[in-house]
Amino acid sequence: MDEDTYGAVKVYLRQLGWALDSLPERDRDDIVEETRLHMLARLEAGRSLESLIAELGPADRYARSFIDQMEASSALASQQPFKSWAVVARRAHRSIVAATVLAATAGLLVLGLIGAVPLVLKPFDPTHVGLWVMDSGGFVIGKARGGPGDHELLGAWIYPLAVLDLLAVWLIGRRLVLWAVARLAR
């Protein structure tokens, strides 16, 4: 291998190290060393530097794949919902899976908030808060006037149903996010 090629490999590896700066030093050094050995083996086997760098891609993009993998693995290992959700949110612009799960969990959050409204408001105004069938034919969840043709359907059952709604939203959202992180970790 000529000196120019070796110099170009050193530059690529230096850029890779800089791009991996957010990782612990040991992990960063392991990745750079493994990449160095891979590059040297390919070059010694007759591969051109240009084709090798084209295969790996720019150092910052190559580094991003390692960072993404480590973030996803860490989130899965910790089982912390907000850490997992943050991984999904950071990847939403690059992954259809992450974008879809992010949108779905936002929708679930809205459903959870809608279910929580009666739970919070009913103790303060039990006669006007609940699940209402309106005289006009519509439904209202939350606070309603309670006119002559309107009637509230659930009464005190709104409390356990609202808690079940919140629990279901939490569990479904958590499963979705963990599934997405597992898919992204591949």
Neighbours of 67 (CB within 10 A): 18
Give the separation between CA 49 and CA 46, rounded to whole angstroms. 9
Rounding to the nearest 10 degrees, give the CA dihedral for residues 33, 39, 42, 44. Answer: -90
What pLDDT shows up at residue 58? 93
What pLDDT shows up at residue 155? 87
**DSSP per residue, 6-50:** HHHHHHHHHHHHHHTTTS-HHHHHHHHHHHHHHHHHHHHTT--HH
What pLDDT shows up at residue 38? 93
Report yes or no on whether pTM surpasses 0.75.
Answer: no
Question: Which residues, given as ranges, of the chain have pLDDT below 50?
Answer: none
Task: Please enumerate in sequence order all residues whose Cβ is within 8 A of that of 36, keeping only pairs 6 or more positions apart, or say none.
Answer: 9, 13
Kind of pairing between the strands at 129-133 and 139-143: antiparallel
What pLDDT shows up at residue 1? 64
Neighbours of 50 (CB within 10 A): 9
Give the separation between CA 42 and CA 31, rounded to whole angstroms. 16
What pLDDT shows up at residue 135? 84
